[in-house]
Chain A
Amino acid sequence: MGGDEEVKLYGMWASPAVRRVEWALKMKGVEYQYIEEDLAKKSHQLLEHNPINKQVPVLLHNGLPVLESLVIIEYIDETWKGNPILPIDPYQRASARFWATFAETKLLDGTKAIFLAQGEEKVKAIKKVEDTLKVLEEELRGKKFFGGESIGYLDIVLGWIALWLGVGEEVADYRVLDAIKFPKITSWIENFLHVDLIKENIPDRQHTLEFFHNFRRFGFAIPNK
């Protein structure tokens, strides 16, 4: 493997969706070229490969584009054998996919809603995120990682919690990650951040904080020039 495989990843350093794709590539030991995109001035290659959403991440494998982080992770899992990311059993795969989409719609979108809300709406949005964390706390029962003894699909899909949730709390001035309310999630975060391939591939907290402070200040839009 190596010479005849061309793998490129278009990304943005602060994006959790991009990181999870990198974690998947690292789990498989795939070598790739990383291309940093300026989201205010997207490259014509990005726009050509993803005309629908015009977003990162985009994985380019031998010239063919794969879009959407969760779709890309499954693609990586199916293309490079060895060290499986998703479980093998169909029922467990369905379960992993279910929790991944649950986390995307309820938790990730839920925290975005907190960013945008104020007053009563913000309180409601925070409660919704807490309720979602309760469900995930239950899902971690008896396990070190969602994937069991080592990280798997759900861990890398939820990996943004380990850094970006805390960053979001600071930027939008709220608190949900309570170690007493969510002891399993709290220790999962610690364990997750200790995994070598994660440790070596996660943005600096201070820089990420600054980025999202600015992001919020400019109304969550990175204007396209």
Chain B
Amino acid sequence: MASDDVKLIGAWASPYVMRPRIALNLKGVEYEFLEEKFGSKSELLLKSNPVYKKIPVLLHGGKPICESLIIVQYIDEAWSGHSILPSDPYHRAVARFWGHYIDDKWFPALTGISRAPTDEAKKEAIEQVFAGLKFLEEVLEKSGAGKPFFGGDTIGYIDIALGCNLGWLRATEKLSGLTYLDESKTPLLVCWAEKFSAHEAVKCVMPETDKLVEFAQMLKAKFSAPPSK
């Protein structure tokens, strides 16, 4: 295959950046990873994603593609090989639905826990996270049918959409003392999480939990420190 010019603008700690990296790894596509420096945005990023100015951005032959799940679908469509989305329209729709759910409902609930202004709001956010995991456990049971991943024998779209959050989920567990991936509640997901994290295409891009904890503590200190004069 002719070498495509493939670059990915991202950062090590971002779960969204992990998504296209896993997708590219699954397709066996070589790419240049352009790490953004924390606290500043490169000219290239601002030029490639003027609307959101956010990572990840995939640059394929110089053309920018933005928004992590849109990038994953693009990678699936632009390169042959491992299929990330299922082949039939109904299961594709199911996968896309859960991708939206994870991004629009579940992950905001997770990040909302630490940001909750009241105990009541915090409790609600925690309940939503657990409810979401319960839904996803059912999805895994139904679609997996005894298989290790949402995508069956191999990693698919829902695996990528959910799995990229495992680093921060584990970091949140360490910081809060609360266990979200609980074997007594969601045994299939616990098993899945281990297999996903150990997968060839994932392990090299999954950030270490301890490093994320350190990062979160640094962020907290930075944003709660009195403003410098």
Contact = CB atoms under 8 A, between A and B. Distances in A.
A66 B51 contact: no
Contact of A52 (B66, B73, B101): B101
Contact of B100 (A71, A78, A90, A135): A71
B73 A97 contact: yes
A61 interface: yes
A101 B101 contact: no
Contacts of B101: 52
B67 A74 contact: no
B51 A102 contact: yes
Interface string A58-95: 00010010111011101100110000000000110110
Given A64-B90, A101-B70, A74 B96 contact: yes
B71 interface: yes
Most chain B CB atoms below 10 A, which of A61, A70, A72, A91: A91
Interface in A97-132: 97-98, 101-102
Interface size class of A (residues with CB under 8 A): 20 to 34
A58 to B, nearest CB: 11
Interface of A: 52, 61, 64, 66-68, 70-72, 74-75, 78-79, 90-91, 93-94, 97-98, 101-102, 135
B31 interface: no
Contact of B51 (A74, A78, A135): A135
Given A94-B73, A101-B70, A75 B93 contact: yes
B211 interface: no
A72 B94 CA distance: 10
A91 B70 contact: no
A93 B77 contact: yes
B174 interface: no
Interface in B86-110: 89-90, 92-93, 96-97, 100-101
25 contacts: A52-B101, A66-B93, A66-B97, A67-B97, A68-B97, A68-B100, A71-B93, A71-B97, A72-B93, A74-B92, A75-B90, A79-B89, A90-B74, A91-B60, A91-B63, A91-B78, A93-B74, A93-B77, A94-B74, A97-B67, A97-B70, A98-B66, A101-B67, A101-B70, A135-B51
Contacts of A66: 90, 93, 97
State the majority secondary structure of interface residues on A: helix
Contact of A75 (B67, B73, B89, B100): B89
Contacts of B93: 66-67, 71-72, 74-75
Nearest to B78: A90
A75 B92 contact: yes
B92 A52 contact: no
Given A66-B93, A74-B92, 17 more contacts: A61-B90, A67-B97, A71-B97, A72-B93, A74-B93, A78-B92, A90-B74, A90-B77, A91-B65, A93-B73, A93-B74, A93-B77, A94-B70, A94-B74, A97-B67, A97-B73, A135-B51
B135 A52 contact: yes
A116 to B, nearest CB: 17
Interface in B5-60: 51, 60
A22 B89 CA distance: 18
Contacts of B100: 68, 70-71
A18 to B, nearest CB: 17
